[in-house]
Amino acid sequence: MRNLDQHTITQEVIARLADTPDPRLKEVFGSLVRHLHDFAREVSLTEDEWAKGIAFLTATGQKCDDKRQEFILLSDVLGLSMLTVAMNNAKPPQCTEATVFGPFFVDDAPHYDNGADVANGAAGEPCEVSGAVLDPAGRPIAGAKIDVWQADAQGLYDVQRDELDAAQGRGVLHADSEGRYHFHSVLAEAYPIPTDGPVGEFLAATARHPWRPAHLHFRIEATGYETLVTHVFREDDQWLDSDAVFGVRHSLIAPWVRRDDGSYSLHYDFVLNPATASKSAPKTSSETAPETTLRH
């Protein structure tokens, strides 16, 4: 132990985890140590590069507050968020696919009746959104809880606007007795993720753009079914094939139809996957996202 070198230190670190009471914690950290050490050896990491990496992670943490989570943003642009979603949300083909949660969800969104205007003054062209929440057999799921949130015409979420004292472009509704939902909002627009922090510096250094295609966020919960966290994307968006956070799925792309009066409409039905004995009841918001308000 007094003569550890680059070839022997990994096993010694892993050995120090031998008495970890939680077997899953032991497994995860043991694997993390192996991969971190192998990475350092593979790229011949220099001390200067190591210091710059520490500085980058420190700056990432310092950019986080109760309204912004830069680490989630970093996870998103590295594809880790979507990889985790893909690994943990395998569903039958008829069920609606999941995608990244994103960092703009809040727990205390206002509640609305079906047919209400959730835009609440948000800038943008008027849009009517409707559809149904169904089970895999096409039967309606009455009373399903539907969280919806989106950016305005300037590509900003309400939580990014310090001047606001009320929610805009977000709300909670419930499907009616026939599983239907219906609300008014504004047309979804593409927007860039925040680039004023370490993640923005990373994107610039790797010659990547920060744009997300236009989309609406949904989180749908119903007793006896897996909670669905997803987006619906505008089919005509230029960024669909290069989403900065890798969240697009073909089945989640839909047309926003322009009406004669200049407003738009979107119709989209969601199909929930029944919960199984191996899976617990629908996850709560605290289980699907950090306690802080997320940003991205």
Query: pLDDT digit string (tens) for 65-92?
Result: 877 889 999 999 999 999 999 999 999 9
The residue behind tokens 């609305």 is 112
Measured CA to CA in angstroms, residue 223 lies from 143, 226, 271, 278, 284 at distances of 9, 8, 14, 15, 11
β-pairing, 264-267 vs 126-134, is parallel
Residue 281 banded pLDDT, cuts 50, 70, 90: very low
Helix, strand, or coil (residue 203): helix
Continuous segment of H or E residues that includes residue 36: helix 23-42
Q: What is the pLDDT of residue 279?
A: 52
pLDDT band for position 256 (cuts 50, 70, 90): very high
**Is residue 100 within 8 Å of residue 230, measured between CB atoms?**
no
Q: Which of these ranges, 12-16, 143-147, 159-163, 217-221, has the smallest mean pLDDT?
A: 159-163
Q: What is the per-residue pLDDT for 183?
A: 98
Measured between alpha carbons, how far is residue 232 from residues 35, 195, 254 in Å?
35, 24, 7
Question: Please, what is the angle between helix 47-62 and helix 70-77, to 10°?
Answer: 120
| Residue 286 burial class via C-beta count within 10 angstroms: exposed 0-12, middle 13-18, buried 19 and up | exposed
Separation CA 38–CA 49 (nearest Å):
16
Q: 3-state class of 196 per DSSP?
A: coil
Instruction: Reply yes or no on whether the pLDDT at 45 is more than 80.
Output: yes
- Looking at the predicted structure, is the pLDDT value of residue 282 above 70? no
The whole-number pLDDT of residue 23 equals: 98
Cβ partners under 8 Å of residue 14, min gap 6: 30, 33, 34
DSSP element (H, E) containing 74: helix 70-77
Contact 64, 71 (CB under 8 A): yes
Residue 23: phi, psi to the nearest 5?
A: -65, -35
The whole-angstrom separation of Cα 172 and Cα 46 is 50
Backbone angles phi, psi at 75, to 5 degrees: -60, -40
Residue 286 is predicted with a pLDDT of 34
Bridge partner list, 140: 134
With residues binned 3-state (H G I as helix, E B as strand, rest as coil), the percentages for the chain, rounded to 5, are: 25, 20, 55
Q: Is the pLDDT of residue 278 over 50?
A: no
Q: Which of 1-5, 62-66, 83-87, 275-279 has the lowest mean pLDDT?
A: 275-279
User: Which pLDDT score is estimated for 3?
Assistant: 86
Q: Tell me what percent of the residues of the chain surpass a pLDDT of 70.
A: 93
Q: Are 209 and 199 in contact (CB under 8 A)?
A: no
More confident of the two residues 287 and 179: 179
**What's the pLDDT score for residue 285?**
36
The Cβ of residue 149 has, within 10 Å, a number of other Cβ atoms equal to 24
Q: What is the pLDDT of residue 206?
A: 98
Half-sphere exposure of 54 (CA within 13 A, CB side): 7
